[in-house]
Amino acid sequence: MKRSVILIAFISFLLSLQVSDAAPLTSSLKDQQDVAVTIYNSNLGLVKDIRLVEFRPGVHELKFMDVAAKIDPTTVYIKSLIDGASLDVLEQNYEYDLLSPQKLLEKFVGEKVQLATLNPETKKEEIVEATLLSTQGGNIFRIGDKISIGHPGRLLLSKIPENLIPQPTLVWLLENRLPKPQKLEASYLTSGINWKADYVAVLKKLDTLTDLTGWVTIDNRSGAAYQNALLKLVAGDVHRVQGEMRMDYARPMAAAKEASPQFKEESFFEYHLYTLDRRTTIKDNQTKQITLLDASRVPLKKLFLFKGSPQYYYQMNQGTNKQKIGVYLELENCKKNNLGIPLPKGTIRVYKEDKEGSLQFVGEDRIDHTPKDEKFKIKIGEAFDVVGERIQTDYKRLGSNLFEVAFEVSLRNHKKEDIKVLVEEPIPGDWEMLLNSHPFEKVQAHLIRFDVPVAKDQEVKVKYRIRFKY
């Protein structure tokens, strides 16, 4: 009885080997049942490719074609969606020796080839046999007993070598135990696909409200197209190990819970996940834009900011120092302002209508990832009609590291309306305010801020004296 069991097991083993010697199975996009793409804003994408493949029980070589050209082969993972225990991966390979004219010729070095030329008299093509000797720096042939460097005619080859493939291919040696077609999910990471957020803000007349539109811009250069794909975007700074091999088996992302008109946002680990509520096709070498948000009448503040520098406190008799006054817009990302979703980092471009109702570009800036209920500030440019000037009015050295300095900041408003200018002064060391013409706020340990009203066509001078040591 024991010998019979051993004999049956041995026969089964031989049968499985016979199956493995059969022609490799090939799977292409025609077998694809579904595809999902998760794109990170760090030139990285996670692809989940689900295909139905005809299998017989036994050991098979499966060529999985139509994958991204920039795939990271160390991240590939395959499993059965029908029965995980029915499929074992014995070997996993990535073949990328792609077919090209140069590589094709290199495979025929030392082989017989045919050269076709057009006879100018008979107007017929004549074919001669030659041996390809080299392809380095040009083709060298032996034709009969002569050596020819190059040839004016066409080069004819008899076949395509087996070790050259037309496209990148994943190759698995799989042991299958399921007697019906397998539903396989192959997942992998690929570079060459990226997304970013771009925002367009249109200011209202008084610069107190704006309409804000957010766009997702996807750039696919991964070497594959994703037809009718489930699209997810991850916003956040994902850490990746550089310069060493890794096997990061991909796991399923969290599923969306509620429908939304465009993207649904949800927290995912320490990042944020944006799921498009419909399918979309992402073609290779394509830039695609999809609306992320559309918020109208978002309140904002326009700020005029005059910034100082710590170096001013270490210099004596600097003379008059004219400085540009920056123009900023400050928004709060909260629900009452018609926002309130985590905003991915990106560029905000700001426009405003002129008197004829035509939109004009007024500036742009980048924002970092901004959680809900947080403020963010963007710089639009420098003020044209508001002038700032700094003068050091006194400088005393009271000890080896003890100083007393005085400044006068002049602010001149040539606009047609009253404004406020924020004067920010970074003060070094241990400091004490001795005298000040305007109230100030201690924003940080070494930063003070004057909030200075400046009427139209008026000048205001902010004077202060400090003592500091370091």
Lookup: tokens for 334: 């909260």
Instruction: With respect to residue 29, please indicate whether it lies within any of the assigned structural domains.
Output: yes
Q: Hey, what long-range contacts does 426-431 have (CB within 8 A, 24 or more apart)?
A: 426/308, 426/309, 426/310, 427/310, 427/313, 427/466, 427/468, 428/310, 428/313, 428/314, 428/468, 428/470, 429/468, 429/469, 429/470, 430/468, 430/469, 430/470, 431/466, 431/467, 431/468
Does 432 map to a domain?
yes
Q: What is the DSSP letter of 97?
A: -
Shared-domain flag, residues 49 and 183:
yes
Q: What is the pLDDT of residue 78?
A: 94
Q: For 353-362, what is each residue's pLDDT tens digit?
A: 998 989 999 9
Count of structural domains within the chain: 3
Is residue 107 included in any domain, yes or no? yes
Within a domain: residue 327? yes
**203 SS3 class:** strand
Is there a single domain that holds both residue 31 and residue 129? Answer: no
Asked if residue 462 belongs to a domain, the reply is yes
What was the pLDDT predicted at 275?
92
Residue that terminates a domain, selected from 112, 134, 156: 156
In this structure, what CATH number is given to the domain that contains residue 456? Answer: 2.60.40
Are residues 177 and 148 located together in one domain of the fold? no
Q: How far apart, in whole angstroms, are the C-alpha atoms of residue 204 and residue 63? A: 58
pLDDT tens across the length of the chain (470 residues): 555 545 444 444 444 444 445 567 899 999 999 999 999 988 999 999 999 999 899 999 998 988 998 999 889 999 999 999 999 999 988 776 555 677 777 788 888 898 888 888 888 888 888 888 888 888 888 888 888 888 888 888 877 776 655 667 888 999 999 999 999 999 999 999 999 999 999 999 999 999 999 999 999 999 999 999 999 999 888 887 765 434 333 333 333 333 334 788 888 888 889 999 899 999 999 999 999 999 999 999 999 999 988 777 777 766 677 889 999 999 999 999 999 989 999 999 999 999 898 999 999 999 999 999 999 999 999 999 999 999 999 999 898 889 999 999 999 999 999 999 999 999 988 999 999 999 999 999 999 999 999 999 999 999 999 999 88
pLDDT at 260: 38
Gyration radius of the chain over CA positions: 35
Looking at residue 97, its pLDDT comes to 58
* Same domain? 105 vs 88: no
Q: Are 41 and 92 found together in one domain? A: yes
The answer to whether position 357 is within a domain reads no
Contacts of 110 (CB under 8 A, 6+ apart): 131, 132, 133
Q: What is the pLDDT of residues 136-195, one digit of tens each?
A: 888 888 888 888 888 888 888 877 776 655 667 888 999 999 999 999 999 999 999 999
Distance CA 325, CA 152 (A): 69
Spatial separation of the C-alpha atoms in residues 377 and 365, rounded to whole Å: 9
Same domain, 147 and 43: no
* Residues 64 and 175 both lie in one domain: yes
Same domain, 170 and 319: no
Q: By C-alpha distance, which of 378, 391, 458 is closest to 420?
A: 458
Are residue 62 and residue 122 in the same domain, yes or no? no
Whether 399 is in a domain gets the answer yes
| Domain C-terminal end among 132, 156, 180 | 156
Are 380 and 452 part of one and the same domain? yes
Identify whether 364 is part of a domain. Answer: no
- 93 and 113 co-located in one domain: no
Domain, as residue range, for 385: 301-332+374-469
Instruction: Indicate the DSSP class of residue 245.
Output: -
Q: Are 402 and 416 contained in the same domain?
A: yes
Bridge partner residues of 77 (DSSP): 187
